[in-house]
């Protein structure tokens, strides 16, 4: 029985992480292309620059693939955090829609105010429009899917 619970939890985390990570990166790639008209692999190289610095930006396909890998590691990390915190979160927030939106906002705040400044990514000047777009993407493409899938997992226990 414990093994079955473990497998069910793992499957939920994998599903939520894949969906949120895929929606997030697709939104980021499309948004970047529409805004700049440039090859969206620059987004993936920017993510890789968190570890490899400016060398990642000049890199080729391998840096873009590493950026994609790092992106999904980050998406799964946020998914696991939400999964572990969910029992405590639901005591405060009963609405999975609001919880998901707030979690996306929380992710944006931590990523832009803690993670990115501590990484090797090039510093980008603050832009209100881009910040709002980033927040909306994280709220709807990451926060909501994670919240809905994980709340479903906990409600069917």
Nearest residue to 22 (alpha-carbon basis) of 79, 62, 88, 60: 79
> Does 16 reside within a domain?
yes
Say what the pLDDT of residue 94 is. Answer: 80
> Does 59 reside within a domain?
no
Say what the pLDDT of residue 157 is. Answer: 60
In the predicted model, is pLDDT for residue 128 greater than 80? yes
> Does 48 reside within a domain?
no
pLDDT band at 2 (very low <50, low <70, confident <90, very high): confident
> Does 150 reside within a domain?
yes
Q: Which structural domain range is residue 31 located in?
A: 2-38+71-155
> Does 15 reside within a domain?
yes
Please give the tally of structural domains in the chain. 1
């Amino acid at each position: 029985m414990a093994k079955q619970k473990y497998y069910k939890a793992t499957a939920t985390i994998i599903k939520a992480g894949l969906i949120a990570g895929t929606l997030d990166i697709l939104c980021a790639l499309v948004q970047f292309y529409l805004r700049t008209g440039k090859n969206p692999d620059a987004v993936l190289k920017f993510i890789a620059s968190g570890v490899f610095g400016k060398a990642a930006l000049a890199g080729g396909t391998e840096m873009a693939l590493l950026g994609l890998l790092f992106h999904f590691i980050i998406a799964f990390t946020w998914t696991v955090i939400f999964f572990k915190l969910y029992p405590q979160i639901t005591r405060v927030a009963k609405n999975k829609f609001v919880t998901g939106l707030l979690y996306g906002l929380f992710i944006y705040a931590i990523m832009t105010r803690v993670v990115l400044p501590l990484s090797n990514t090039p510093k980008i000047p603050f832009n209100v429009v881009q910040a709002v777009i980033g927040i909306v993407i994280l709220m709807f493409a990451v926060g909501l899917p994670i919240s809905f899938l994980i709340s479903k997992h906990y409600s069917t226990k």
